[in-house]
Amino acid sequence: MDRRAFLGTLAGGLLAAPLAAGAQQAGTVYRVGVLSGGSAASGDPLGWSEDKLRELGYIEGRNLVIERRYAEGNLDALPRLIVELLRARVDLIVTVGTPATSATKQATATIPVIFSLADDPVATGLVASLAHPGGNLTGFAQGLYRHKQVEALRDAVPRLSRVAYLHDSNYPPIAPSEFDPLQRIGVHAEILNVKAPKDFAGAFVAASKASVGGPVVENSPMFYPHFS
């Protein structure tokens, strides 16, 4: 099974479990809220689980309503958007990214939340532990290894010795030690912190002054609308 199929099966199962907790009842319409810090143009976070939901008897427009909210990179909008979902009386919330998940955790301790993120959910305080998350949150983390991203760029550009790593500073700071494994291949990563799109220009000026050979962009919803 490839990675996409695996995630689709996993996500579909996670989504279906809370909805089925009380068993399906004839005529019942379930409401799922989706909250993302990114853009709708980057794709529907539920797109790869619709087939699995259909297999389990949940069809959007029939017995399933999906309320989607996107911050379009403006993370300050997340608290307002989660309030909108709560007012819509959703039965379940799916979050994409650490900021969206944090905002949801602060807003509700009772509605089940399924998250998908690249950060460490324990280190960021979203769950108590991987074995026993506790509370109303569960989900999966993609396991982002920052130095592996840089190594992939080095594979494409063999003579690369300095890279700029664009970090979304709405997330916890990066420990320089995370890039220690790069020393064995002679690569230095210059960490550039970006809090909002208005900071992009300054970050690229800093990258130019540091004489980097290429940039690596962190997996963060804030960056998604600006890739093209």
CATH topology of domain 146-222: Rossmann fold (3.40.50)
Per-residue pLDDT at 1 exceeds 70: no
Neighbouring CB atoms inside 10 A of 204's CB total: 16
pTM, to two decimals: 0.60
Assign domain 3-141 to its CATH architecture: 3-Layer(aba) Sandwich (3.40)
Q: What is the mean pLDDT of residues 187-214?
A: 90
Delimiting residues of CATH 3.40.50.2300 domain(s) in the chain:
3-141, 146-222
Task: Please tell me which residue, 106 or 144, carries the higher pLDDT value.
Answer: 106
Residue 161 confidence (pLDDT): 92
Give residue 5's pLDDT band: very low, low, confident or very high (50, 70, 90): very low
End-to-end CA distance of the chain: 31
Report residue 91's pLDDT band, with 50, 70 and 90 as the boundaries. very high
pLDDT score recorded for residue 84 = 97
Output phi, psi for 158, to 5 deg: -55, -30
In sequence order, what are the residues at sequence separation of 6 or more whose Cβ sits closer than 8 angstroms to the Cβ of residue 198? none
